[in-house]
Amino acid sequence: MKVMLDFCVVPLGVGVSVSQYVAECQRVLEQAGLSHQMHPYGTVVEGEWDAVFAALRTCHERVHALGAPRISTSLRLGTRTDRDQSMQDKLDSVRSKLASSS
């Protein structure tokens, strides 16, 4: 089962600057070979369910290892059985609607 995941890791107990923890998660996704795209309030990743959630677990382990005693992550998670749809497909679909209406 393929999944698209949008996640935002929020470490607690390490002050207000979280960019080093977000950077570590980017490295995890890179090392896992998963297609991903960072945005200003999270990161979208797509792939097989087990590979994506193994990477998410590694993100939590690495962020704890960097010193964060507590993490609160918010996620959106999409699966579909009717067809494949990539991150790019989703963006293209909205943009074609916008173009045809302008």
List residues bridging with 12 in a β-sheet.
70
Site membership for a copy of itself, residue 32 (CB under 8 A): no
Question: Does 33 participate in binding a copy of itself (rule CB under 8 A)?
Answer: no
Element (H, E) at 98: helix 87-101
* Shortest Cβ 60–a copy of itself spacing (Å): 5
18 binds a copy of itself (CB under 8 A): yes
For residue 75, which phi and psi values (nearest 5 degrees)? -135, 150
Q: Report the candidate in 58, 60, 48, 63 with the shortest Cα–Cα distance to residue 28.
A: 58
Q: Decide if residue 84 touches a copy of itself (CB under 8 A).
A: no
Nearest to 27 by CA among 47, 19, 78: 19
Which chain residues interact with a copy of itself by CB under 8 A? 1, 4-6, 8, 10, 12-13, 15-20, 22-23, 26-27, 37-42, 44, 49, 53, 57, 60-61, 64, 69-82, 87-88, 90-91, 93-94, 96-98, 101
